[in-house]
Amino acid sequence: MAVGGGNEAEPAALLRTRINTSVRFKTKISSHSVSHHSSHSSIRNLKSHSNLGPQTAGQPSSIVASSSDKPAADVPPVEGQREQLGHRLEQEEHKALEMSVVEMALSTVEGVPNLYVGGLWALRRSQSLLDRKITHVLSLVSFNPSSLKNFNDEPFSEYGKPFKHLLIDIDDFEDEDLLIELPNAVKFIDDGLSRHQKSTSSGSDVATAVERIGLDSEESGSSASGSTPAASSDQPPPPQGHPRRGAVFVHCAAGKSRSISALIAYLLWRYPDRFTGPAGAQLASTLEGPEADESVAEPVRAALALIKQTRPLAEPNPGFMQQLDLWWQMGCPADGDIETQPIYQRWLYQRAARESINAGQAPSQLWFEDEAAASSTKPSGSSSSSSSPSSSAPTPDRKLRCKKCRRILATAPFIVPHRPREDAAASCQHFFIEPLGWMRAELEKGELGGRLSCPNPKCGAGVGRYDWKGFPCSCGSREDPAFSLQKARVDEELSRAALRMPPGRGGNGNL
């Protein structure tokens, strides 16, 4: 069954193929290398890993689910008898097999007891869900899993009756609206994990106690481990007379993108202090490649890094990472109306604009950043090319003026940060800015590109150009879409705040 799109896929068939193929290659997995053992020993080891059975000494923790699994009743055995073994497992084969087994697992989240993540394969392992005392199941897939059968041939509509279930219908595409679903997902997870906290006088006590578990510990837990973390002496029991803490399983198709995105949103909302400051910076620094993209806020990257400690394949698609960055910018509004958030409205507009541009048309609706900022109670200050929250530190008052008439064309909040490429042969010849109200007459023409003229009716000098499809700067960097003012046609003005001097010094007290 194909589910979703993007970078997730139904793992079950792929998994069985990988395991059977690896057995034909006569393999045996060990913690550091693949050795030559007897054929019966090799088959026993492979079956042990394919069933996600109990972890034993020498086995790699990254491919073991839990000591509480019951493989005989929960996972189909490796089919058929194999010939005499002797083939040495190649590195790529070992990695593929290991990743397949990880995909099957119910992985924990470091420092958050009773929170699990996985894919459809893990959802089918009904006995493993019961062994972990799962009470809530959050499904982020594009179909209703009620007909999905476990390995006893029972549909989820039957074996899932013990669980409170929430289905969020979403595909794994970069432009899917994840933001609108996050409040429901976050509240569902929190309800499952800490229902009793809402009726206590000090709801932060348990959160504070849980926060002391795991993150400051040197033991990070085994990768893809489904075992429940040991109880901590710092963690108080649930208050008497209130429901006991539940356990939540969050899944998508492969436990890689959609489910991980929901977990990141929850962690940022529930434990924001864990992912800021030196601790957050250290976590974020462990990411490599595209995941280390600094255009995404550091706390978002830190939360992903935490999840990857126990779920190595965690990798939300780039569009979801950008939306999680906006979730952080908005203050993680799990209890608010996200549709009224200017940042969310802006994202919706940008998505609609991209759809129009991809169809070869200019956007039918226009969004002007200065007008949006003026109508909002919150300062805008965020640009289309920079997702990081603006710093509270004082910055110079920056203005771009028409060189001919001195009319102000853009101020600091609406000037897009622009980073030249490191290997750039030439300097930037443009100031890139956001779409602003004075461009209305030109943009309402419905053209994909054109000239920008000074809005002063007595001037009208050409000051730049725009292109909805974007264009490269002379420095090698590119903006999409692009609204630019030519440096030769405008003056950049930087003014600093006056420094107050003690009375009697500096004349009137200003420097």
Tens digits of per-residue pLDDT, 255-289? 999 999 999 999 999 999 999 999 999 999 999 99
Tell me, yes or no, whether 112 and 185 share the same domain: yes
Calculate what percentage of the chain has a pLDDT beyond 70. Answer: 62
Asked if residue 364 belongs to a domain, the reply is: no
Number of structural domains found in the chain: 2
At residue 145 the predicted structure's pLDDT band, cuts being 50, 70 and 90, is very high
- 69 and 193 assigned to the same domain: yes
pLDDT-above-90 percentage for the chain: 54
One domain for residues 118 and 167? yes
pLDDT of residue 258: 98
Quote the pLDDT of residue 66: 40
| Higher local confidence (pLDDT), 363 or 383 | 363
Same domain assignment for residues 313 and 441: no
The predicted model scores a pTM of 0.66
CATH number at residue 63: 3.90.190.10
Pair 320, 381 in one domain: no
296 and 379 belong to one structural domain = no
CB 195 within 8 A of CB 339: no
| Element at 485 (helix H, strand E) | strand 482-486
Instruction: Tell whether 509 is covered by a domain.
Output: no
Express each pLDDT in 284-304 by its tens digit: 999 999 889 999 999 999 999
Position 255 in a domain: yes
Given a cut of 80, is residue 77 above it in pLDDT? no
Residue 4 confidence (pLDDT) above 70: no
503 occurs within a structural domain: no
In a domain, 118, yes or no: yes
Range of the domain at 467: 370-388+395-495
174 and 240 in a single domain? The answer is yes
pLDDT of 2 reads 40
Q: pLDDT class for 83, splitting at 50, 70, 90?
A: very low
pLDDT for 235 beyond 80: no
Q: Is residue 351 part of a domain?
A: no
So what's the pLDDT on residue 429? 87
> What are 12-63's pLDDT values in tens digits?
444 444 445 444 443 333 333 333 333 333 333 433 333 333 333 333 333 3
Q: What is the pLDDT of residue 64?
A: 36
Q: How far is CA 438 from CA 38, 407, 462, in A?
A: 78, 11, 13
Do residues 231 and 116 both lie within one domain? yes
* Chain segment 432-474, per-residue pLDDT in tens: 999 999 999 999 999 999 999 999 999 999 999 999 999 988 7
Has residue 422 been placed in a domain? yes
Tell whether 187 and 293 lie within a shared domain: yes
Mark whether 256 and 380 lie in a shared domain: no
Beta strand spans in 242-285 (E): 248-251
Q: What is the DSSP letter of 356?
A: H
Give yes or no: residues 148 and 26 share one domain: yes
The set of residues, in sequence order, having a beta carbon less than 8 Å from that of 402 and lying 6+ positions away, is 409, 454, 456, 459, 461, 463, 489, 490, 491
CATH number of 433's domain: 2.170.150
- Return the pLDDT at 337: 87
What is the overall mean pLDDT for the chain? 74
The pLDDT value given to residue 201: 32
Note whether 152 and 3 are same-domain residues.
yes
Domain annotation covers residue 445: yes
